[in-house]
Structure 1
Amino acid sequence: MSIFLNNVKVAISELIAPGDRVLVAVSGGADSVALLFLLEQFSKELGYELYVAHLNHLARGKESDEDADFVVRLAEKLSLPIIVDKIDAAEKKTFLKTSFQESARILRYQFLEKTLMSIKGNKIALGHTADDRVETVLMNLLRGAGIKGLVGIPEVRGNVIRPLLSFNRADLEMFLEERKLVYRIDSTNKETKYLRNKIRHELIPYLKTFNREISGNLLSMSEIAHEEDLWMSEKTHELYNQLVTSQNGGLCIEVAKFENQPLAMKRRLVREVFYRLKGNFREITAFHVKQVLDLFALPKVGSSIMLPGSVRVVCGYEMMCFSKTDVSQPPEIDKQARKLKIPGVTSLAQIRLQLHARFVNPPLPESIDQKQAYLDYDRTGELIQVRFFQPGDRFIPLGMQGHKKVKSYFIDQKVPREERPFIPILTNADNDIIWVYGERISDPFRAAENTKKVLLIEGKGL
């Protein structure tokens, strides 16, 4: 057995265990064809099972169809089961709001994950090489990545493995040539309009005029970065569990505790929160991380920024909150006042709330929930309306004597700015505020010991 084959066998045995069911992604190109034949060569000896998968992106017309047919014949030649699907990546890129290549990548991984489940497999094998890793490191450098970006492509990520990541593309092409194995050549691989191709055909050759060993040096740097990143990631996860809390579907960090951390850890915490919300690091750059750090450094309640992937960062009272936001259509609130049904139930579907109104007999309970209001019906009058905040709103908060602006009340109570428009406000026929729902009733309308007719209004979620 040649040194090359022996090294490949060792690499495979470190990633695949006996009894594994492996889905091999095969495009038809040199790397994936070499991967398939190498995996098949050692499958019986190492005791794993292989399936083949191919996704036709419909990107190159007849050429794409010919790629699919080629992979089917390849699988049949090796007597391996194959799953083929097709999807129009160009059509889907509008929905995914990203470039064609990124859309194709996302769709390809979705197809592989779905197929892996259908065959009850446990690993997906991809044909990335050391050359791909070098190209990825340079791509990440160009877009302003940190240490994690210098790692390039990991050998293992979840159920995805890359057995050939330590081998050069030239090694694989030599293997194919020796075995007289044919493969497909993607005509778009030479088009430099794509960043990876431009790096492969223009940047790397140019860098080699300065140092012929540039690819090897970048790989060595990548390995060092990988080891250091593993250690730092462990520390980041420990701190994440201490500082980050879940609130209203988002993730929040106390500003003061965050600011006490070293700058390097701050950067990693921001990236970790982004990853937890979005599921990947795509599109997040050093520039975006700096934007968030600047927000922490000069926190102003209500200030916010949008990050890629519809991740919104909002500065609250003592907290910075990250959330995944649908920016396409902000929620609309009906400004029209609605009459409260007394007794009865009034539904506010737009905020998923029902207000239940009924008369109760004294005495009043000692403890009253914030979602309950015990009111003097003789003071409120028969007409009670429900609306939302309006500029200039004033009321007399329970326990106070003078009027206070509702806006000032919200600020004093540290009610987040983004929540204020969705808080119901109950008024009487003269538009005097009776109750700021969930916050405070207005003192003149409170039920007292001598109240003859007590009206209870309480809110319940839909």
Structure 2
Amino acid sequence: MLLKFQKYLAENLPFLREKKLLLALSGGIDSMVLAHLLKQSGYTVWLAHCNFQLRGKESDEDEEFIRNFASENNFKLFVTTFDTNSFAKDNKLSIQVAARQLRYIWFHQLLQENNLDYVLTAHHLDDNLETFLINFSRGTGLEGLTGIPVQNDKIVRPLLTFSREEIQDFAAENKIQWREDSSNSSDKYLRNKLRHDVVPILKSLNPAFLDSFQDTLSHLQQVKSLAEDASVLIYKQVVSEKENQKHFNIAELKRLPNYQAYLFEWLRPFGFKAWQDIYELVDAQSGKVIVSENYRLLKDREYLILEPISEKDSAIYEISEDEIKFPIHLKISAADQIQKQSDTATIYVDKETLKFPLHIRKWREGDYFCPAGIDGKKKVSKYFKDEKMSLSEKESTWLLISDDKVVWIIGKRSDRRFYVNNTTQEILKIETLK
């Protein structure tokens, strides 16, 4: 494997030879094999280890193992510890996504602070297959079927063409020690289920399955390249750019036999997810709008207009000391009882149902609430449509938010999940003021 590895790097990643490299070292077999391969091939390498504190004593023992390895082999080592569970909870992420974000943020900091050039990770061919199957099982476009890239900016994956079996054989032949992550044996995660149950069946059906898979990836990547080239050429025929806006000519768009595919390719980088709504926007009435976190797509007669949401519209404002005066005046106070009112400027809620601090922001695609009088939930966008609100009315409407839940479409409709009931101990009055 060593000669094959050296040949692969010389032919495909020659720029790594004179660079300062940071190797992400978990202590598992893959990264330990990569460390040995790089050392035996004469590359200049620093090591980086993350202790995510997810497996108690086992995580600390991994760190100690890495420290000993670095000392014995004269590697410079960077180690950090993350409170991954807290970060995941605070940012409403899965543990896997939280750990990925934490480590890559830290890796890029290390590159900058130590004048290093690239981060190397030990992803291999079986990892690529598992990622393909995960994306395939969840539904994906061509982007999700072309595999993990060998290089993504400063991240390089030099083992991506090597199988797990090759790595295991090299570790055995060279008596390489590593740490086994106990979570890898659990079927709690989809990746592990595929690794333990699905991939072995595929390999048993075709002994050369990984080779066939690599060929398929190569073909898909070529098709993706062709699609990207076509997308660039067609873009110039359909889209005109004016200041910070992109105008999509609907008549030109509809002349294309597969205009939905082009819209997907052009709009995907702007964070849109409601693709069926976007496709229907082409034939929708003028004034309808779809938003992502930072952009809006507006139907305006003969055009779809893409533009960034203004800083004010995308901002989130925290309510402190029970009152906020900008961008709207909202006041929260204790109440002994619910008073009857004839307007929609005031609501009463059960304090126990709220999570503080509260926030206000504009609506986003996917927001929903649970209004009285209907079973289940209703999209805020559907409420706007049913109320026949104009675009300007939608854009001037604010939401009161508790822990990402809509408490109140301010001045219009509240959510029954926060209603006062016969078990309520503390009542809060929330009102808009002039």
Q: State the Cα distance separating 1:64 from its structure 2 match.
A: 1.1
For residues 240 and 114 of structure 2, the distance between their equivalents in structure 1, rounded to whole angstroms, comes to: 38
What residue is the counterpart of 1:185 in the other structure?
A: 180
Aligned to 2:406: none
Per the alignment, residue 367 of structure 1 pairs with none
Match of 1:27 in 2: 26
Alignment of 1:287-436 (within 5 A): 288-296=274-282, 298-305=283-290, 310=293, 313-317=296-300, 318-321=303-306, 323=308, 326=314, 332-333=327-328, 418=394
Q: Give the drift of 1:262.
A: 4.1
Question: Following TM superposition, by how much is the alpha carbon of 1:161 offset from its aligned partner in structure 2, in angstroms?
Answer: 1.0
- 1:55: Cα distance to partner? 1.3
Shift of 1:23: 0.9
- 1:363 maps to what in 2? none
Which residue identity does 1:136 align to in structure 2? T
Q: Which of 198, 202, 210 is the aligned partner of 1:203?
A: 198
Report the counterpart of residue 87 of structure 1 in structure 2: 82
Distance 1:129 1:173 in 2: 12
Q: Structure 2 counterpart of 1:226, which letter?
A: Q
Alpha-carbon distance between aligned partners in 1 of 2:264 and 2:243, rounded to the nearest angstrom: 17
Question: Does the 8 Å contact 1:251/1:323 carry over to 2?
Answer: no
Distance 1:75 1:29 in 2: 14
Amino acid of the residue matched to residue 186 of structure 1?
D
Q: Could you report, residue by residue, the CA deviation over 1:157-200 in whole angstroms, capped at 9, with x for unpaired residues? A: 11211111111111111111111110011100111111111111
Counterpart contact for 2:290–2:298, Cα < 8 Å = no
| In 2: Cα distance, 1:157 partner to 1:241 partner | 27
SS of 2:22's equivalent in the other structure is: strand
Task: Confirm or deny: 8 A CA contact 1:56 1:85 kept in the other structure.
Answer: yes
Alignment equivalent of 2:13, drawn from 12, 15, 23:
15
Where does structure 1 lack aligned partners over 5 or more consecutive residues? 279-283, 336-409, 423-462
Deviation string for 1:43-87 (max 9, x for gaps)?
Answer: 2xxxx4211111111111111111122122222222121111111
Which structure has the greater CA radius of gyration?
1
Is the partner of 2:41 in helix, strand or coil? helix
- Judged with a 3 Å threshold, the aligned counterparts in structure 2 of structure 1 residues 117 and 16 are, in CA distance, closer, same or farther, namely farther
CA separation of 1:83/1:200 partners in 2, compared to 1, >3 Å: closer, same or farther?
same
Map residues 33-432 of structure 1 onto 2, 5 A cutoff: 33-43=32-42, 48-208=43-203, 210-240=205-235, 243=239, 245=241, 253-263=248-258, 266-275=260-269, 277-278=270-271, 288-296=274-282, 298-305=283-290, 310=293, 313-317=296-300, 318-321=303-306, 323=308, 326=314, 332-333=327-328, 418=394
The 3-state SS of whatever aligns with 2:46 is strand
Distance 2:75 2:246 in 1: 46
Once residues 139 and 72 of structure 1 are traced to their aligned partners in structure 2, the CA distance between those partners, rounded to angstroms, is 34
Query: Is 1:313–1:322's contact at 8 Å kept on the other side of the alignment?
Result: yes
Displacement after TM superposition at 1:421 (Å): 7.0
Cα gap change, 1:64/1:238 in structure 2, threshold over 3 Å: closer, same or farther? farther
Does structure 1 retain, via aligned residues, the 8 Å contact 2:119–2:155? yes
SS of the equivalent of 2:96 reads helix
CA–CA distance in structure 2, aligned partners of residues 323 and 212 of structure 1: 51
Determine the C-alpha separation between the residues in 2 that align with 1:290 and 1:419.
22
TM-fit CA distance, 1:299: 2.5
Secondary structure of 1:193's aligned partner: coil
Within 1, Cα distance between the matches of 2:247 and 2:115? 37
Tell me, yes or no, if the aligned pair for 1:299 and 1:315 is still in contact at 8 Å.
Answer: no
Q: CA deviation digits over 1:314-372, x for unaligned, max 9?
A: 3231224365774866984459xxxxxxxxxxxxxxxxxxxxxxxxxxxxxxxxxxxxx
* Matches of 2:275 and 2:113, distance apart in 1: 38
Rounded Cα–Cα distance in structure 2 between residues aligned with 1:179 and 1:190? 24
Counterpart contact for 1:302–1:417, Cα < 8 Å? no
Q: What is the CA-CA distance between 1:238 and the residue it aligns to?
A: 4.7
Q: 1:222 offset after TM fit, Å? A: 1.1
Q: Shift of residue 11 of structure 1?
A: 1.7
What's the counterpart of residue 406 of structure 1? none
TM-score of the two chains, using structure 2 as the length reference: 0.67
Offset, 1:207:
3.4
Supply the AA of the counterpart residue of 1:314.
L
1:118/1:262 CA distance change after superposition, 3 Å: farther
Q: How many residue pairs align between the two structures?
A: 327
Kindly indicate whether the alpha-carbon contact (under 8 Å) linking 2:27 and 2:179 is maintained by their aligned counterparts in 1. yes
Tell me the SS of whatever aligns to 2:199.
Answer: helix
% of aligned pairs identical? Answer: 27
Shift in Å, 1:150: 1.3
Query: Is the Cα–Cα contact under 8 Å of residues 133 and 219 in structure 1 kept in the other structure?
Result: no
Q: 1:77 and 1:206, CA in 2 relative to 1: closer, same or farther beyond 3 A?
A: same
How far does residue 128 in structure 1 lie from its aligned partner after superposition?
0.6
Matched to 2:25, the amino acid is: V
Instruction: State how far apart, in whole Å, the 1-side matches of 2:115 and 2:227 are.
Output: 34
Displacement after TM superposition at 1:294 (Å)? 2.5
Distance 2:240 2:179 in 1: 49
Aligned equivalents of 2:294, 2:201: Cα separation in 1: 38
